[in-house]
Chain A
Amino acid sequence: MTNKRIIRTLVVLSFLFIMLIVYLTYFVVFQREAVMQSPYNKRLWAYEEDIERGTIKDRSGAVLAYSQEGKRIYEYGPLYCHVIGYNSKIYGKTMIESKFNNLLLGRGSVAEVFGIGGSGKSGYDLTLTIDHNLQSTAKSKLGSRHGSVVAINPKTGEVLALVNNPDFDPNDSVLAKKWTELTESKDSPLLPRATGGLYPPGSTFKIITAAAAIENGLDKEEYLDTGTVSIGGAAFDNYGKKANGRIDFKKAFALSSNYAFCTLGAKLTSPVLRQTAQRFGFDKTFDFDIDFTRSRFQAKDTDEAGSAALAIGQGETLATPFQMALTACAIANNGIIMKPYIVQRAEDKNGSIVYEKRPQQLYTAVSNDVAAKIKDLMVETVENGTGKNAKISTIKVAGKTGTAENELKGKEKNKDHAWFVCFAPAENPQIAVAVMLEYSGGSGGELCAPIARDIIRQYVKKRSGA
């Protein structure tokens, strides 16, 4: 009797010992990476001191960041602060420097998981999809104005330029000197506006409303635009209260008629608009090479007046410039949004590739037909509508302007956010651009469209070898 119980005890004890080994294995297989990456892990810095961090280059090989004698040097100062981020012992790591830390330190291959092989004393070099010339142009066109420029290849998802103003110098010595100023400044230079700033999208949202209208057969109607429309007791004005007269759907889009689109919004209702917006990526998130903020469509359903406001990108809907660039990408790429990425590949010092990104589809926003119809609307906008400033004689541009009221409305004059989203060439799109200028006081057509035009011209000309 006793011996039987002893054997049972032995079985239980064996189980306990096996559990120890199983848990230990589980920990190393599944939790190891996350635990190792904790910023509280003192070992990280201990290892890093022995390893020369990898170089970061643009798509044509221009060096953007490199390490020298343990110091991280950002060749172009502030230009890439919201793409590459910084790598500082005191302030930590951000952006690419954080997300690709393992590759930059030469870790993360299969051999490394088992602790064998190993890469010696130097990390892997990263090649970005960013075009340094385009990035510089975007920056100089922004000048001192606060805002963002995002440029993406709609066919592949490669991010070609990603610029924000204001910015900061990520070099360690400058960070240390200016940290308090940077964190306390009311301009928030540390905020990556393009990927982390949420703004009402204004009339650029009409791309999504138009998609919903076409899908629901509401694109055949005509309107007598008087400049102001009253829906559910609320009055909605066109930009500058301009009356457009008798217009069809195409003209309504090209002239950015709030009269027509508010009427459409009230008919479509907020659930339909939300469902359409979510297909473009609102309320959704995915794994991107730098962290970004989810754009959100107004969470609660609303009445006619509320739906009318949502249709023109007002209400509680907020979008990042990054999201609006993806919206343009959807139309440019026959309704399909390709998964955006910034890091093209990583290679070791011998040039063999240890990581490489290939284009993949992210969302299907609209059907091919709907995309083609909206493309026509956007071409018309640039040819004969609010986006004339983006017109280029040799390249057919498709775009949509936006001028978004915000929380300052009624408090200060002329503080609207200006937007322009576009892609070109319309017949075979190579680049999609979103430009946003915050609290700019002007319209998207007059302020943002010229910036987008210059970026497109430079990029398309270079691509066609001119």
Chain B
Amino acid sequence: MISKLAKHPINMIVIINTLAFLLLFFYRTPPNYQILFVGVSITILSVITYLAISFFNLGDRYLFIIASMLISIGVVMLCRLDYSMGIAQVGWYLISVCVFYAAYILYRYINIWRFLKWFYFGLSVFLYILTQVIGITINGAKNWIMIGSLSFQPSEIIKILFILFIAARLTGNNKKLFNLPENYTTALFSFVFMFFLILQREWGLTLLYFLTYFTLTYIYDDDKIFLLANALVTAAVGAIGSLTMHHIAIRIKTWRNPWEDISNTGYQITQSLFAIASGGFFGRGIGMGNPDFIPQANSDFIFSAICEEMGIFGGAAVILLYFIFVYRGIKIALLLPEGFDKCVALGISIMFAFQTFIIIGGVIKLIPLTGITMPFVSSGGSSLVTSFISLGILQAVSAGRRQANDQ
């Protein structure tokens, strides 16, 4: 019975959702019926989308399943922290699934994306400047725009524009600009993206953009000296930055010894470590821990909350889900012929991989902590919608182009 159920991975989502939400429902007295509503809607959304993907043969069947498993874990954690956050997240999930279909259709049936590199760059710069002009400050960084009552983080959307831009530059024919070799102009424009992020003090995103750019350059550029130069320049800038910029120096110092200034700079990371330590191998059980002691447990630190209540076995499961996701994304890229689509698939997979590594590595103190969201799991619309646009594109790429590659 169990083995039969496990044969179709979507059944596992149904089983896990049923168990987790029932647990959440019965744990609190009086029972909150909204929890059941949340559980049922998220399960239905996942199942329908999965069935659509397999019935209409919309490409890779596993990517979406992995994403919806991560969504489920995230929503369970959010509901446990605060019902209203969980419900909001389900709302965003609904929107994200629509966006996913839209991204899928737009990317698959309109074949203009590889020509639009200046549009990507221009739109990004416009969004950056807009953020600087009308943006508001949340958690010390001016990187949010309010549209009505909705807050929205342009730097999330720009992640996709960045990948599309780089992919177009690396795989298309480029006119010579400023009399520089092609790869140098690509580097120049990529660093413009990162420059704006530094202005917003988004160190985590800056690192993420750089790693994505660097890896793609490694794959597509035969000029080894250029790659080395990139690495050296960045290392030099990083070293100067860590010596001269208080913000970076403090993060490195906190990473090396958070206990020294525990009530101040070390507060976040030590609270995260307390949570993971108290969870141990198997966790304290959903609803049994104190993830509410962790600052930002709903967004950047949600991994620590998962570890506290589900244990590092749960945490390792989440890491492995991301790993399978990245593996499948890269496998899709490997099977594609050279071209824009291949590079986009790679870019998306690599960016997911590094984003996961940076935030999880940060909250477990493997690397210095830089706040970025955990894709599919952290609460927040911008992050979720962006992740699903990426997923939609990846899904479309995996389904292949209707008009055979016309390179």
- What is the interface of chain A, defined by CB distance below 8 A to chain B? 1-3, 5-7, 9-10, 13-14, 16-17, 19-21, 23-25, 27-28, 31-32, 35-36, 38, 40-43, 46, 113-116
Contact = CB atoms under 8 A, between A and B. Distances in A.
B276 A20 contact: no
Nearest to A39: B262
B359 to A, nearest CB: 10
A19 B366 contact: yes
A400 B175 CA distance: 97
Given A16-B353, A20-B360, A27-B276, A10 B330 contact: yes
B297 interface: no
8 contacts: A17-B326, A17-B353, A17-B357, A24-B319, A28-B277, A36-B278, A114-B280, A115-B284
B276 A24 contact: yes
Given A20-B360, A20-B364, A42-B293, A6 B334 contact: yes
B283 A115 contact: yes
A7 B334 contact: yes
Contacts of B270: 38, 40
A42 B274 contact: yes
B315 interface: yes
Contacts of B353: 13, 16-17
B166 interface: no
Interface of B: 215, 218-220, 222, 259, 262-263, 270, 273-284, 290, 293, 307, 311-312, 315-316, 319-320, 322-323, 326-327, 330, 333-334, 338, 342, 346, 350, 353, 356-357, 360-361, 364-366
| Chain B facing A: main interface SS | helix
Given A42-B290, A115-B283, A17 B319 contact: yes
Nearest to B270: A40
Contact of B280 (A2, A23, A115): A115
B283 A24 contact: no
B350 A9 contact: yes
A43 B281 CA distance: 17
Contact of A21 (B215, B290, B319, B326): B319
Contacts of B284: 115
B282 A24 contact: no
Given A32-B277, A36-B278, A115-B283, A43 B360 contact: no
A20 B319 contact: yes
Nearest to A1: B222
| 8 A-B pairs with the lowest CB-CB distances in the bound complex, closest first | A35-B277, A115-B280, A5-B219, A17-B323, A115-B282, A32-B277, A41-B274, A13-B353
Contacts of B322: 17
Contacts of A35: 273-274, 277
Contacts of A40: 262-263, 270, 274
A179 B238 CA distance: 49
Contacts of A9: 215, 218-219, 330, 346, 350
A165 B322 CA distance: 62
Contact of A6 (B273, B277, B346, B357): B346
Contacts of A41: 274, 277-278
B70 to A, nearest CB: 14
A57 to B, nearest CB: 30
A301 B222 CA distance: 67
